[in-house]
Amino acid sequence: MSLYKKVVNREEQISVVGLGYVGMPIAVAFAKKVNVIGFDLNAHKIGQYKNGIDPTNEVGDEAIAKTTVEFTTDETKLQEAKFHIVAVPTPINADKTPDLRPIEGVSATIGRNLTKGSIVVYESTVYPGVTEDICIPILEKESGLKCGVDFKVGYSPERINPGDKVHRLENIIKIVSGTDNEALEEIAKIYELVIEVGVHRASSIKVAEAAKVVENSQRDINIAFMNELAMVFDRMGIDTQEVVNAMNTKWNALKFNPGLVGGHCIGVDPYYFIYEAEKLGYHSQIILSGRKINDGMGEFVADAIIKKLILANKVVKQAKVVILGITFKENCPDTRNSKVEDIIKRLNEYNIDPIIVDPYADPVDAKHEYGVDLIPLDMINDADCLVFAVAHDMFRDMKVEQLDGLFGEFPNEEKVIVDVKSILDKDMIEKCGYSYWRL
């Protein structure tokens, strides 16, 4: 009997290793069909899940409370599963090289608990070759088993978009691959249990790995182009958003916008591709240039803030700057690799210590990752400058009266608004006399 049939008949279990924004929704989805063990080293996170709390807001507290996933921090429980899904982060080091320690560590953990007849599927973003050249040797060493004989491996890149309630796990085509055709078919059938729109069978693991890094690199390059335009148009005195709106009237416009590019995918994946290319003697030109542009946008925005403060007759060192949003994207609590940090650091160079407001972010995460204390919005009433850095619905829906209440008592032309995400009504804001700038 195939592993797929045994899993469906609940004779064997699936394990999901790494229960963050990617792993947890996968575990919950599979648990509606089969038996699932959810493993994570973070005891606090596991405790929240067991108590029916979803700190990611990806599936919601009710779904977590109802799920049959067996949440655990005990790695020996992995011995009870035969199909392992790996969903740990793959960050970059300070020098922009891949940090493979999380995926190497989880490979060792699974290897110690791997049994004959198992399949291990990696979802973590890596450069082509990592699964076969780095992960499989670790699995073999720790388990004493032989890949292709005692167990098999696959790669199926995650495509979940944190905070997106439209493009969900179930309706995003899943790329799957395996070490051989038998593994590929088993992996495809098991994923088809939860992927309603079906799967795409890649010809090899390296093809699947490459597809993931290049789809995010492509997006990164397109945003970099818009960011470069924004910097040039700012010098020309042309409103970038008005240009974008005009351009988007053409049927084949790609509809990208300038902005901060952070998060755990688009701001990271291109560096994995660049790293492997350079190892092979090829120096990236387009991808690396795009990365440099996007990595510099935080400083560009911060310098625009300083310029607007000066033009509004503010004493820069004494200015009270309030940044609205620190997560890497709107309506999502995920603060990983948020480029708002670059704005903060640049303002610190001008001796400005901005106040950070974000009702979506976890205060503990914000403090741990960026050393900032989040302040409730209702405590802001004397700002000199408001920086809309993240397009949370709460910020997008603000009325003029609410905005005005956040400023100090001085003329509107001395009240600075920097709209990084272009979420405010420019005509209305300028009609009220505020000093307004948008990317």
Q: Give the helix ranges, DSSP H, for 237-339.
A: 240-247, 269-279, 286-295, 297-311
Residue 265 annotated in active site: yes
Contact 316, 376 (CB under 8 A): no
pLDDT of residue 166: 65
pLDDT of residue 206: 97
Instruction: List, for residues 366-408, the tens digit of each pLDDT value.
Output: 998 899 999 999 999 999 999 999 999 999 999 999 999 999 9
Distances (CA, A) of 50 to 55, 194, 328: 12, 23, 27
pLDDT of residue 334: 87
Mean pLDDT for all residues in the chain? 93
| SS3 label, residue 68 | coil
Q: Which residues partner with 426 through β-bridges?
A: none
| SS3 label, residue 409 | coil
Which parts of the chain sit beneath pLDDT 70?
A: 162-167
pLDDT of residue 382: 93
pLDDT of residue 185: 97
What residue ranges define each of the domains in the chain, with the CATH number in brackets? 3-203 (3.40.50.720), 204-295 (1.10.1040.10), 296-439 (3.40.50.720)
pLDDT of residue 164: 62
CA dist 366 and 323 (Å) reads 13
CA dist 120 and 243 (Å) reads 48
CA dist 360 and 376 (Å) reads 11
pLDDT of residue 56: 85
pLDDT of residue 45: 94
Q: What is the pTM of this model?
A: 0.91
Sheet holding 435-438, edge to edge: 355-357, 321-324, 385-388, 416-419, 435-438
Catalytic residue among 135, 147, 265, 332: 265
